[in-house]
Structure 1
Amino acid sequence: MSDLVPRTGYTLPVFACGAAIAALHWLYKRIALDTVTLDLVDPAQLARVEIENACGLKPGVSLAIARSDPGDNLDLTRHTPIWAMVEWAPPTQTQSVSIVGGEGIGRQENGSGPSAIYAYARQLIETNLNQQLREGDRIQVTLLLPEGRALAKRTSNEAFGVVEGLSLLGTSGLSHPLSAPQQLEIFRAQLQDKAARRDLLVFCIGENGLDLSRRLGIPETCLVKTANWLGPLLVEAGIQGIKSILLLGYHGKLIKLAGGIFHTHHHVADGRQEILTAHGVAAGLSVPELQTLLQRASAEDGLAYLRQLERQMAQPWVARVYQSIATAIETRSQRYIYTHSERQVQIGCALFDRDRQIFAVSETGQKLLDRASTSSHG
Structure 2
Amino acid sequence: MDSALSTPRSGYTLPVFACAGAVAALRCLVATSDRPQTVTLDLLNPPRLAEIAIHQLAPLPDGSVLAITHSDPGDNLDLTRHTPLWSVVAWASDAQIEPIHIDGGEGIGRQVDQGNAPAIYRYAKELILHNLTPLLPAGKTLRVTIILPEGRALGDRTSNAAFGVVEGLSLLGTAGISEPLSAPGQLDQSRQVLRDKAAQYRHLVFCLGENGLDLAVKLGIACDRRIKTANWLGPMLVEAGQLGVVGVLLLGYHGKLVKLAGGIFHTHHHVADGRQEILAACCAAVGVELPVIQSILAAKTVEAGLAILRQDETLVQQVYQHMVERIDERAAAYVYAHTAHSLTVGTMVFDRQRQIVAQSHLAKGLFNQVLVD
Common topology (TM > 0.5): yes
1: CA distance, partners of 2:217 / 2:18: 27
Cα distance change, pair 59–280 in 1 and its aligned pair in 2 (3 A): closer
The offset of 1:271, in angstroms, is 2.6
SS in 2 for 1:178: coil
In structure 2, do the counterparts of structure 1 residues 79 and 292 end up closer, same or farther at CA, with 3 Å as the change threshold?
closer
**Could you say if the C-alpha distance between residues 237 and 89 of structure 1 is closer, same or farther in structure 2, counting changes exceeding 3 Å?**
farther
Q: Name the CA distance, whole Å, in 1 between partners of 2:123 and 2:368.
A: 29
Q: Residue type matched to 1:27 in 2? A: L
Instruction: Provide closer, same or farther for how the CA distance between residues 120 and 319 of structure 1 changes in structure 2, counting only shifts above 3 A.
Output: same
Following superposition of structure 1 onto structure 2, how do residues 1-378 of structure 1 map, counting pairs within 5 Å?
A: 1-30=3-32, 31-58=34-61, 61-109=64-112, 112-216=115-219, 218=221, 220-308=223-311, 310=312, 316-369=314-367, 372=370, 374-375=371-372
Range with greater deviation from structure 2 (349-358 or 9-18): 349-358
Q: Which amino acid aligns with 1:323?
A: Q
CA shift in 2, pair 1:261/1:37, >3 Å: same
Does 241-250 or 31-40 show the bigger shift? 241-250
Contact 2:21–2:69 (CA<8 Å) still a contact in 1? yes
Asked if the contact 1:160/1:355 (under 8 Å) is kept, the reply is no
Helix, strand or coil at the partner of 2:184: coil
Q: Quick one: structure 1 residues 96 and 192, their matched pair in 2 at CA, closer, same or farther if it must change by over 3 Å?
A: farther
Taking a change above 3 Å as real, the CA distance of residues 114 and 223 of structure 1, as seen in their structure-2 partners, is farther
Query: Deviations along 1:140-193, whole A, 9 cap, x unmatched?
Result: 321110100111122222232221111122232222222222321122122223
Distance change (3 Å), C-alpha of 1:305 and 1:23: same
Amino acid at match of 1:45: R
Is the partner of 1:166 in helix, strand or coil? coil
Aligned residues: 370
Offset at 1:58? 4.8
The alignment partner of 2:285 has SS state of helix
**How far apart are the structure 2 equivalents of 1:197 and 1:131?**
48
Deviates more, 1:192-201 or 1:166-175: 192-201
| Alignment TM-score, normalising by the size of structure 2 | 0.90
Task: Report the secondary structure of 2:267's partner residue.
Answer: coil
Question: Do the aligned residues in 2 keep the contact of 1:244 with 1:345 (CA within 8 Å)?
Answer: yes
In the TM superposition, residue 239 of structure 1 has moved relative to its aligned partner by: 2.3
SS at match of 1:316: helix
Please give the per-residue CA displacement for 1:258-283, whole angstroms capped at 9, x wherever unaligned: 11111122333223233222221232
Contact 1:105 1:116 in 2 (8 A): yes
- Amino acid aligned to 1:300: E
2:172 and 2:219 map into 1 onto residues whose CA distance is: 20
> Cα 1:270–1:73, aligned 2, differ >3 Å: closer, same or farther?
closer
The 3-state SS of whatever aligns with 1:146 is: coil
Deviates more, 1:204-213 or 1:297-306: 204-213
How much identity, in percent, do the aligned residues show? 54
Task: Indicate the SS of the match to 1:105.
Answer: coil
Q: Is the 8 A contact 1:198 1:221 kept in 2?
A: no
Following the alignment from structure 2 to structure 1, what is the Cα–Cα distance between the partners of residues 172 and 272? 26
Residues 29, 200 of structure 1: alpha-carbon distance in 2 compared, 3 angstrom cutoff: farther
Alignment RMSD: 2.4
Partner of 2:353, secondary structure, is: coil
Q: 1:165 to 1:207 in 2, by over 3 A?
A: farther
TM-score of the two chains, using structure 1 as the length reference: 0.89
Q: Which runs of 5+ in 2 are unaligned?
A: none
What per-residue deviation string (whole Å, max 9, x for no partner) do you get for residues 13-43 of structure 1? 1111100101110121112211111112222
- CA distance in 2 between counterparts of 1:95 and 1:196 reads 54
Name the CA distance, whole Å, in 2 between partners of 1:214 and 1:131. Answer: 37
CA offset at residue 216 of structure 1?
A: 4.3
